[in-house]
Amino acid sequence: MRFWDSSALVPLIVQQPLSPEVERWIAEDTAVVAWTLTPVELVSALRQLLRDGALAERAAREAEELARELMARAHIVSDVERVKAITIRLLRVHSLRAADALQLGAALAWSDGHAEGAVLHTFDKRLADAASREGFRVVPE
């Protein structure tokens, strides 16, 4: 079981240059762990691709359906109060935006505070750096 940030999930649902790499990761371990607000981030990312002209409306709707299906199979970290408490500490010690800190807070809640050796997938550099300092094995490194 691995924690997936939304930046790593987008290439699973929309063909991008990083998709083959991400598809290898999911083949290694199909058990996805995600934060409860990840679906919101995924729709935001897909709609930004649409606004940027990288996706057509129909493709965006199909990708949103794939995202719903993926999240329906995922283990969802939904203890908002616990994640909020962890996130506040993270914001005090790491240079993170709130959404990224919430992702890392959810990953720490999932790992029950024992991040050593647990895998976190992200393409966000700041999140990757903070997750690594918290003990996660960040992929890609």
pTM of structure: 0.95
Residue-wise pLDDT tens digits, 58-98: 999 999 999 999 999 999 999 999 999 999 999 999 999 99
How high is the pLDDT of residue 55? 97
Structural domains present in the chain = 2-139 (3.40.50.1010)
Is residue 141 predicted with pLDDT exceeding 90? no
Strand pairing partners for 67?
none
Please state, in angstroms and rounded to a whole number, the distance separating the CA atoms of residues 92 and 89: 5
The amino acid at 50? L
Residue-wise pLDDT tens digits, 22-66: 999 999 999 999 999 999 999 999 999 999 999 999 999 999 999
Please state, in angstroms and rounded to a whole number, the distance separating the CA atoms of residues 91 and 110: 18
Residue carrying structure tokens 């290439």: 11
Q: Please say whether the beta carbons of 64 and 47 come within 8 A.
A: no
Q: What residues contact 10, with CB distance under 8 A and at least 6 apart?
A: 16, 42, 45, 46
* Segment holding 64, helix H or strand E: helix 57-73
Q: Please say whether the beta carbons of 59 and 10 come within 8 A.
A: no
Q: What residues contact 52, with CB distance under 8 A and at least 6 apart?
A: none
How high is the pLDDT of residue 57? 97
